[in-house]
A and B are shown apart, each in its own frame.
Chain A
Amino acid sequence: AQKITQTQPGMFVQEKEAVTLDCTYDTSDPSYGLFWYKQPSSGEMIFLIYQGSYDQQNATEGRYSLNFQKARKSANLVISASQLGDSAMYFCAMREGDGNQFYFGTGTSLTVIP
Chain B
Amino acid sequence: NAGVTQTPKFRVLKTGQSMTLLCAQDMNHEYMYWYRQDPGMGLRLIHYSVGEGTTAKGEVPDGYNVSRLKKQNFLLGLESAAPSQTSVYFCASSGGAAQDVYEQYFGPGTRLTVT
Interface residues of A (CB under 8 A from B): 4, 33, 35, 37, 43-47, 50, 91, 93, 95, 98, 100-107
From B41, B90, B92, B97, give the contact of A106 (CB < 8 A).
B41
A-B contact pairs, 20 of them (CB 8 A): A4-B42, A33-B102, A35-B103, A45-B90, A45-B92, A45-B106, A47-B103, A47-B106, A50-B103, A95-B102, A100-B31, A100-B48, A100-B56, A101-B48, A101-B58, A102-B45, A103-B45, A104-B35, A104-B43, A104-B44
Residues of chain A lying within 8 A (CB to CB) of residue B43: 45, 91, 93, 102, 104
Q: Is B64 an interface residue (CB 8 A)?
A: no
Query: On chain B, which size bracket covers the interface?
Result: 20 to 34
A101 & B104 in contact (Cβ 8 Å cutoff):
no
In the complex, what's the smallest C-beta–C-beta distance from A53 to chain B, in angstroms? Answer: 11
The DSSP consensus for interface residues of chain A is strand
Residues of chain B lying within 8 A (CB to CB) of residue A47: 103-106
Residues of chain B lying within 8 A (CB to CB) of residue A37: 106
**How far is it, in angstroms, between the C-alpha of A11 and the C-alpha of B2 when the chains are bound?**
33
A98 & B97 in contact (Cβ 8 Å cutoff):
yes
Q: Which residue of B has the minimal Cβ distance to A45? A: B106
Interface residues of B (CB under 8 A from A): 31, 33, 35, 40-45, 48, 50, 56, 58-59, 88, 90, 92, 96-97, 102-106, 108-109
A106 & B104 in contact (Cβ 8 Å cutoff):
no
